[in-house]
Amino acid sequence: MPGNSFGELFRVTTSGVSHGPGYVAIIDGCPPGLPLGIEDLIPDLQRRKPGQSKITTQRKEDDLPEILSGVFEGVTDGTSIGILFRNNDQRSHDYGDIKDKYRPGHADYTFDAKYGLRDYRGGGRSSARETICRVAAGSIARKLLAAQGIRVLGYVTQVGDIRFEATDPAAITLEQVESNAVRCPDPVIAEKMYALIDQVRLERDSIGGICEMVATGVPAGLGEPVFDKLKADIAKGLLSLPAVLGFEYGAGFKVASMRGSQCNDHFIADEKLPSKVGTKTNNHGGMLGGISSGQPIV
């Protein structure tokens, strides 16, 4: 089964299934000398951890990482970093009724069609629990990026018909995002989102949403033209997440109703940027021709 790795210079490989013994993440490309311990991983893992509120999955896992390799005396040694997560709350008997049934919106049928069999216990390899490996790898990447002055932050912008629109995505803080269970920077809108999710939960249904990501401090010049565009790499990572059905950056699909004169971002001198070149607006979402422009990637 190919397709278990993502990245080139910083490469992440994951293994494990939802109701198996656990998950393993292998991170290649981390340079030696980076201070790293489980205390660096715990904060982000706690943010991802299920059972935090009644509007999330109620599966309860410790989600405690065990660093198997790649770290010596508190710093990375330049070799592959191996991280193990043990599953403790896999209730496989809960899935007995769907052993011979295909669930809508899941990978049950497509796994059966491709492999001739499927792990019906929680979705097996297609389970969203796999993201625990991505979060751990992301924590390490965050430390590396922070040393270069790059910050990446995500937040919820829509649940159902309830929307939040950031006037300045780069100004949003982690404290704002973490101030509520929905992780919407606006507390008033977040309360409405929470109420809607809870209402839908009581109706034994679910509802969709949108989240936004912003990366600041990204220098101009990252990415390659044509097939290895930065936007293409980001899209691949995001669209490989379970349940993600769409991706846009910058003004996104809004450009369909815009004229070129409205959409184009005019260049200006910007002394705050290393390149001294900026743009008045950021409809291009920080990427032009698949290469970073130095503006926030949104």
pLDDT at 106: 87
Q: Is the pLDDT of residue 285 over 70?
A: yes
SS3 readout for 19-73: CCCEEEEEEECCCCCCECCHHHHHHHHHHHCCCCCCCCCCCCCCCCCEEEECEEC
Report the candidate in 191, 106, 197, 124 with the shortest Cα–Cα distance to residue 159.
197
The CATH architecture annotation of domain 1-147 reads: 4-Layer Sandwich (3.60)
Report the candidate in 232, 236, 215 with the shortest Cα–Cα distance to residue 294.
215
**92 pLDDT tier (thresholds 50, 70, 90):** low
Residues contacting 150, CB < 8 A, separation 6+:
215, 216, 217, 218
pLDDT at 268: 95
Residue ranges of the domains in the chain?
A: 1-147
Residue with token string 């910058």: 250
pLDDT at 95: 60
Averaged pLDDT, 112-120? 85
* CA–CA dist 119, 116 (Å, integer): 11
pLDDT at 81: 99
